[in-house]
């Protein structure tokens, strides 16, 4: 079996499972946020149960509109806060919270070999930790909170193998954009994307989180990585409970195997209005921008900020560009502060925000007006995603974002540093 099939088998009391089978699956962790939790709470209350299945296994994070941007978001936050306190759930208040998919791995709340479900499509991020993690609707999440189980179909697994050595300034964001550009937004529909190859072995954990995060943008049920030494080192100091490692068998059956030579891949950019509308930076041309966003559950980790700071240090953000930098968690913010990155950003003319999803979904901290263009390290660039339906969002890595902020147009890191 594949690693994903082994995890699902172990969590459904089966020795073996096959793609297409329907299962009742035991879950290890349930997640909801300030947008999706209110819906899940409403459905939970309709079930007529008095308590959740395990308060230590249910996590609520107010990250999309928090700190509250208006009265409606304040009411939503109040609702989930009260529910979390009533049931003694794992809850992260403003000042301790962060963007959920950066925060949970950092806090050791997600572990290898687990089944994690969240009322957020980018829950697949945790596949970087060799977990089976997937987003579900709020009704399913309500049932999971009550019973500790989900009902699902076993997905097939597509194996993506990345050979060769990455060029400078090319990382996880470029690999996943390149892949989505190659297979399309439905290229891995209801499948597991298993990432492998020597380039993946060399990829740091932050780059793996980025790739797993965007598996959903290829239509995947989840993305998953091998539980190698690099991943186990990350987990070792964070894990708060025991866990089990699962690896795909050498004779596992994959729906297909897709292989890439990464040595020729350059920084990638997704043009409006799909994450699959991808071009290499050398083919972009002269595209002027109004705003740059560096952050989100895709690229708000310390490695991302380090990369941006390397390019921005000693330089100035273009006078016609707003550069917004959002650390993924309070810990990322603190680490960046201690390393002098925050001063680098401010001296360059960027603004640094408290952790929040904010502009990624057109919430706050950088909503676009009609006719404006933004180069963002986020994961989606659909019509109206960041504000006006007449605005445009381009997706790229923190390196490309920082370079673009300096030059006032979408630009390669080499252009900015040279």
pLDDT along the chain (418 residues), means of 10: 98 96 97 94 93 96 93 94 96 94 96 96 97 95 96 97 96 98 95 97 97 97 95 92 94 96 96 96 96 97 97 97 97 97 98 94 94 97 94 98 98 92
Phi and psi, residue 259, nearest 5°: -120, 145
How far apart, in whole angstroms, are the C-alpha atoms of residue 354 and residue 97?
A: 10
Burial class (CB in 10 A: 0-12, 13-18, 19+), 306: middle
DSSP code of residue 120 = S
Q: Write down the pLDDT at residue 417.
A: 87
How far apart, in whole angstroms, are the C-alpha atoms of residue 210 and residue 3?
A: 20
DSSP bridge pairs for 32: 60
Cα distances (angstroms) measured from residue 24 to each of 9, 41, 137, 336: 10, 22, 16, 43
The answer to whether 166 touches 35, Cβ cutoff 8 Å, is no
Phi and psi, residue 193, nearest 5°: -95, 110
Q: Write down the pLDDT at residue 240.
A: 84
Q: Write down the pLDDT at residue 64.
A: 94
Residue 190, CA atoms < 13 Å, CB-side half-sphere = 7
Burial letters for 108-120: b for 16+ Cβ neighbours within 10 Å, e otherwise?
Answer: bbbbbbbbbbbbb
How far apart, in whole angstroms, are the C-alpha atoms of residue 133 and residue 155?
A: 12
H/E stretch holding 375 reads strand 373-376
How far apart, in whole angstroms, are the C-alpha atoms of residue 251 and residue 253?
A: 6
**Cβ neighbours of 399 (radius 10 Å):** 29
pTM (predicted TM-score) = 0.95
End-to-end CA, the chain: 49
Please report where in the chains the tokens 């919430």 appear, as a residue. 363
Please report where in the chains the tokens 């959903």 appear, as a residue. 216
How, if at all, do strands 278-280 and 268-270 pair? antiparallel
DSSP bridge pairs for 29: 116
How far apart, in whole angstroms, are the C-alpha atoms of residue 115 and residue 105?
A: 14
Alpha helix (H) ranges present in 29-133?
A: 37-47, 71-87, 100-106
Distance, CA of 230 to chain centre: 19
Alpha helix (H) ranges present in 214-369?
A: 229-236, 296-299, 302-312, 330-338, 341-348
Q: Write down the pLDDT at residue 418.
A: 81
268-417 placed in CATH 2.20.25.240: no
CATH top-level class of 3-260: alpha beta
CATH 3.30.499.10 residue window(s) in the chain: 3-260, 268-417
DSSP string for residues in 271-293: PTT-TT-EEEGGG----B-SEEE
The answer to whether 366 touches 378, Cβ cutoff 8 Å, is no
Please report where in the chains the tokens 């980025």 appear, as a residue. 210
DSSP code of residue 365 = S
């Amino acid at each position: 079996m594949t690693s994903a099939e082994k995890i699902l088998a172990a969590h459904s009391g089966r020795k073996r499972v096959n793609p297409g089978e329907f299962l009742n699956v035991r879950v290890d962790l349930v997640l909801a946020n300030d947008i999706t939790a209110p819906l899940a709470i409403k459905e939970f209350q309709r079930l007529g149960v008095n308590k959740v299945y395990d308060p230590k296994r249910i996590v609520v994070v107010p990250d999309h509109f928090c700190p509250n941007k208006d009265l409606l978001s304040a009411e939503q936050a109040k609702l989930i806060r009260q529910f979390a306190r009533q049931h003694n759930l794992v809850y992260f208040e403003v000042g301790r919270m962060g963007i959920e998919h950066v925060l949970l791995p950092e806090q050791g709340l997600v572990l290898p070999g687990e089944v994690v479900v969240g009322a957020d499509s980018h829950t697949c991020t945790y596949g970087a930790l060799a977990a089976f993690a997937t987003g579900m609707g709020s009704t399913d999440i309500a049932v999971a909170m009550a019973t500790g189980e989900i009902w699902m179909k076993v997905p097939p697994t597509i194996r993506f193998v990345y050979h060769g050595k990455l060029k400078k300034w090319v990382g996880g964001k470029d690999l996943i954009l390149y892949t989505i550009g190659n297979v399309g937004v439905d290229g891995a529909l209801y499948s597991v994307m298993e990432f492998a190859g020597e380039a993946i072995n060399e990829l740091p954990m932050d780059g793996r989180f980025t790739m797993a995060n965007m598996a959903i943008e290829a239509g995947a049920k989840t993305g998953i990585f091998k539980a190698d030494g690099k991943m186990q080192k990350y987990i070792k100091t964070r894990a708060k409970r025991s866990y089990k490692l699962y690896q795909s068998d050498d004779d596992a059956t994959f729906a297909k195997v897709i292989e890439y030579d990464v040595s020729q891949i350059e920084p990638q950019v997704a043009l409006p209005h799909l994450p699959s509308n991808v071009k290499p930076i050398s083919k972009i041309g002269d595209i002027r921008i109004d705003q740059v966003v560096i952050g989100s559950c895709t690229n708000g980790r310390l490695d991302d900020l380090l990369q941006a700071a390397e390019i921005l240090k000693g330089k100035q953000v273009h006078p016609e560009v707003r550069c917004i930098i959002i650390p993924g968690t309070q810990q990322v913010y603190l680490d960046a502060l201690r390393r002098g990155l925050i001063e680098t950003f401010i001296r360059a003319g960027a603004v640094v925000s408290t952790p929040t999803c904010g502009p990624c979904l057109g919430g706050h901290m950088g909503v676009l007006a009609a006719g404006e263009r933004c180069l963002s390290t986020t994961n989606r660039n659909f019509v109206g995603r960041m504000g006006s339906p007449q605005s445009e969002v381009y997706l790229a890595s923190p390196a490309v974002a920082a370079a673009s902020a300096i030059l006032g147009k979408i630009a390669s890191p080499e252009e900015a540093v040279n």
